[in-house]
Amino acid sequence: MLSMSIFPLWWSSFSETLGRRTIYLASFALFVLWNIISAVSTSMGMLIVMRILGGGASASVQAVGAGTIADIWEVRERGKAMGIFYLGPLLGPLLAPIIGGVLSQAWGWRSTQWFQVIYGGVLFIILTFCLPETLVMERPVIPPTQSTDEKSARPELSRVSTRQSVHMKTKNFGKVFKRCIIDPLSVLMYLRFPAVLITVYLASITFGTLYMLNIAIQKTFSEKPYNFSVIILGLLYIPGSLGYLVASVVGGRWSDYIMHREARAAGRYDEHGKLSFRPEDRMRENAWIAAAIFPGALIWYGWTAEKGIIWIVPIISNFFFGVGSMVVFGLSTTMLTEFLPKRSSSGVAVNNFIRNIFSCVGGIIAQPLISAIGLGWLFTGLAVICWISSFSVVWAMLKYGPKWRVVMDQKLRI
């Protein structure tokens, strides 16, 4: 999770200049390579390093994929497209436990790595032959070269002293260092804008609770009184993923509808007579409802699972958590591509950086906290934090969002 947090900063930065397709092909070629080495690992250290590199390679899609969506779809219908795109990362918690459980139970853990090799290889072939470049890049203006007569008339300009050569090499090294190190890290500076910061925070706090819930499902139902097998544990993730599916189809269209409605109500039209949209308009009643639903589902799950009530009761709560959290994920990611229209993948990379840190921490602390205070109090505390955070973010965006966006646009132009 940490590598999936950090690596997209580089993938997104490079994709803004090298193109989306180039990054996809490079990252999935590396993904296949690292998983091959993972599958034949001879030590725990070797496996861990290869898993870190494999996670970093596959993470390109999280940021660059959202950039591709922003390249293709206009703002007026981007919410629907982003909702469908977001099914990818959120169906992982459904498919991975089921596929991984079957493979590891039948052929051992190495089979899961070989599965990823095959999966990554198939994706690489599909990307090679089916995906065009979507990023429209501006071509640099190249000044005309000097004619032969001009060069011969000024022969001293064609000679470069040793000192000048050293200076040029140093300058080129500085450019490479800036391009490879400074530029990717500089995207974190977008967090200085309040609209970006609170949108990222809302997505991150929700994503962190998602991973704590995933750990809780695994721990709760593998022990008494449930004692489910690995395969059955995998199937228990289906209700939550069905919630993601429903919200991805409905939530994106819902946010598009709200954005159109707000633009018409305000009478905002451009010089061509088309509606003029604003990113903050996506966060209206849909965000309020989602912010109420998913923390409530956490309390539902926590206390029913702790009391050992029949398994279907706590598992149904995961459907509602999936619906509420997916609405938050979808509108947050879409808003970030619109707050930073010319750097859409960079905005999403910042979001991935923060939210994956939250999910990593959540995955680490979930089990110790469950053992210390129990499921009920843990998820009650998380629900209170999520309610306060979510309602505060939505209120702040409604009240200050337009002002924040204007200031941000002015500073980005400068």
Please state, rounded to an integer, the average pLDDT across all residues of the chain. 85
pTM score over 0.95: no
Q: CA-CA distance, 402 to 392, in Å (whole number)?
A: 16
Span 26-48, mean pLDDT?
Answer: 95
Q: Determine the pLDDT at residue 167.
A: 53
- Render pLDDT for 331-360 as a digit per residue (tens, 0 to 9): 898 898 888 877 777 788 888 889 888 988
- Render pLDDT for 306-334 as a digit per residue (tens, 0 to 9): 999 999 999 999 999 999 998 998 889 88
Read out DSSP for 322-378?
A: HHHHHHHHHHHHHHHHHHSGGGHHHHHHHHHHHHHHHHHHHHHHHHHHHHHHHHHHH
CB neighbour list of residue 11: distance below 8 Å, 6 or more residues apart: 23, 27, 59, 60, 63, 64, 345, 349
Higher pLDDT, 297 or 158: 297
pLDDT-derived band at 398, boundaries 50, 70, 90: very high
Long-range Cβ contacts of 264-267 (<8 Å, 24+ apart): none
Q: Per mean pLDDT, which of 99-103, 184-188, 216-220 is the most reliable? A: 216-220
Q: How many CA atoms lie within 13 A of 20 on its CB side?
A: 23
Distances (CA, A) of 238 to 21, 91, 98: 32, 9, 9
Whether the predicted pLDDT of 29 surpasses 50:
yes
List of domains in the chain:
2-135+190-413 (1.20.1250.20)
pLDDT-derived band at 168, boundaries 50, 70, 90: low
pLDDT-derived band at 138, boundaries 50, 70, 90: low
Residue 188: burial class (beta carbons within 10 Å; 0-12, 13-18, 19+): middle
- Render pLDDT for 359-375 as a digit per residue (tens, 0 to 9): 889 988 999 999 999 99
Instruction: Identify the H or E element spanning 140.
Output: none
Span 111-134, mean pLDDT?
Answer: 93
CB neighbour list of residue 134: distance below 8 Å, 6 or more residues apart: 20, 21, 68, 71, 72
Instruction: Please choose, from the candidates 73, 15, 52, the residue with its C-alpha nearest in 3D space to the C-alpha of residue 333.
Output: 73
pLDDT-derived band at 162, boundaries 50, 70, 90: low
User: Which two three-digit tokens encode residue 256?
Assistant: 């598009």
Overall residue count recorded for the chain in this entry: 414
Angle CA(4)–CA(281)–CA(402) in degrees, nearest 5? 95
Q: CA-CA distance, 308 to 317, in Å (whole number)?
A: 14
Whether the predicted pLDDT of 219 surpasses 50:
yes
Q: CA-CA distance, 210 to 215, in Å (whole number)?
A: 9
User: Which two three-digit tokens encode residue 174?
Assistant: 């500085």
Q: Report the amino acid identity of residue 213.
A: L
Higher pLDDT, 241 or 52: 52
Higher pLDDT, 135 or 225: 225
Q: Determine the pLDDT at residue 285.
A: 93
User: Which two three-digit tokens encode residue 344?
Assistant: 């859409």
Higher pLDDT, 198 or 87: 198
Instruction: Please choose, from the candidates 318, 373, 367, the residue with its C-alpha nearest in 3D space to the C-alpha of residue 212.
Output: 367
Cα–chain center distance at 272? 34
Instruction: Please choose, from the candidates 356, 361, 96, 125, the residue with its C-alpha nearest in 3D space to the C-alpha of residue 234.
Output: 96
* CB neighbours of residue 165 within 10 Å: 10
Q: Determine the pLDDT at residue 327.
A: 92
Residue 49: burial class (beta carbons within 10 Å; 0-12, 13-18, 19+): middle
Higher pLDDT, 149 or 86: 86
Q: CA-CA distance, 322 to 294, in Å (whole number)?
A: 7
Instruction: Please choose, from the candidates 5, 3, 2, 1, the residue with its C-alpha nearest in 3D space to the C-alpha of residue 352.
Output: 5
Cβ atoms of 328 and 291 within 8 Å: the answer is yes
Tokens 């979930």 — which residue?
Answer: 366
- Rg value, the chain, Cα: 24
Span 146-157, mean pLDDT?
Answer: 49
Phi-psi region of 74 (alpha: psi -120 to 50; beta: other; left: phi over 0): beta
pLDDT-derived band at 137, boundaries 50, 70, 90: low
Cβ atoms of 35 and 117 within 8 Å: the answer is yes
